[in-house]
Amino acid sequence: MAPIAITPPAVESKRPTLHRVDTANLGTKRKIICFSDFDGTIFLQDTGHQLFDNFGCGPERRAELAKELEEGTRSFKEVSDELYASLDVPFESVFDVMKSALEIDPDFRTFHEFCVNNDIPFNVISAGLKPVLRRVLDHFIGADMSAHIDIVANDAKVDSTTNKWEAVWLHADTDLGHDKAQSLQDYKTTAAMESDNGTVPLIVFIGDGVSDLPAARESDVLFARRGLKLEEYCVDNNISYIPFDTFADIQREVIQLARVDDQKTQGRGMPARYNPRANMWRRVSSKAAVPVFSAFTPSREEKAFIWPEAFTEPVVESKGATTALAAPPA
């Protein structure tokens, strides 16, 4: 029987009691759009690891494939295809493990509510499988709130007879399978980028690992989870960023950025935390085509998508994380 595409059912969320913060509408002039990585950013663990280690090839073979990828003998998409092919379990059967193994950022629910209340689109950009990510979000934040999140990721097919899995790559003609920078560029090119009052939206990206850099470089403001590899890379390479421990930090900063951005739109200068490279597209007339820039993609980024423990382990020493750094040279 031919493989079938997965459309996961909605699941009622079990929500812990959290400290509530104000999520009321800011009333800002400029529209804000958020893009975020999933594994290691919204969730502290990796969904792919849970799949492969519990239902597929296991951690030993995954480590062997990680070595092949690091040595450059196989591409990310090639090793990922082998990992997904090792799964032979019904789609619904994997989520009992996910529910107990995954931990959501403690302040993500409140931040997402803040985004909804302020009409801030929140988008996930991930190298994972969209139906898996959707099912996880449905459980942890509820299907009603999950529906507000657009997920840009690869699709999945599961054979109804053999239960074999297959990734349906978003960018099948690339070695990455999903080029995050291209996804963000496509969004900026095709979406309606003007708000009601004619201002160009502020693009925010949130991540944790160096695999997020291609998309991060297309954003105006970058948030990097404190103590992980994305922050370390930003420090070492003079890339401007804002560190965060939880999404509560991001919410506070977004409120401040919105206020400063309102001042900027009134001719009071450019905030230091903006990424001037990404801001180039903001200066183009909204009635003209948005230019597509070549994404800066370090060689290690491809390797970081599916084995983040090798590239997103905690940094031993903090390197000036609380100071906004100068932008990289053009």
Q: What is the pTM of this model?
A: 0.74
Q: Give the active site residue among 22, 37, 107, 138.
A: 37
pLDDT for the residue 21: 54
Q: Is 179 an annotated catalytic residue?
A: no
pLDDT reading at 245 higher than 70: yes
Are 36 and 27 in contact by the 8 Å Cβ rule? The answer is: no
SS3 155: strand
pLDDT in tens, 257-276: 877 655 655 554 444 455 54
Q: Check whether 136 has a pLDDT greater than 90.
A: yes
CA angle 17, 21, 22 (to 5 degrees): 135
Cβ neighbors of 327 (< 8 A, separation 6 or more) are 238, 239, 240, 275, 276, 277
Query: What is residue 165's three-state secondary structure?
Result: strand
Per-residue confidence band for 24, with pLDDT thresholds at 50, 70 and 90: low
Most confident listed range (158-167, 255-264, 280-289) = 158-167
pLDDT band for position 292 (cuts 50, 70, 90): very low
Q: Which domains does the chain have, with CATH numbers?
A: 32-44+105-158+168-277+302-310 (3.40.50.1000)
pLDDT: which is higher, 162 or 201? 162
Extract the runs of DSSP E, i.e. beta strands, from the chain.
Answer: 4-5, 32-36, 122-129, 149-158, 165-168, 202-207, 221-225, 242-244
- Burial letters for 131-147: b for 16+ Cβ neighbours within 10 Å, e otherwise? bbbbbbbbbbbbbebbe
User: Is position 208 annotated as part of the catalytic site?
Assistant: no
Return d(Cα 256, Cα 327) in angstroms, integer.
Answer: 20
pLDDT reported for residue 156: 95
Q: Which of 39, 105, 138, 208 is catalytic?
A: 39
Percent of the chain with pLDDT over 70: 66
Q: What pLDDT digit, counting tens, does each position of 51-94 carry?
A: 999 999 999 999 999 889 888 899 889 999 999 999 999 999 99
Q: Is the pLDDT score of 328 beyond 50?
A: no
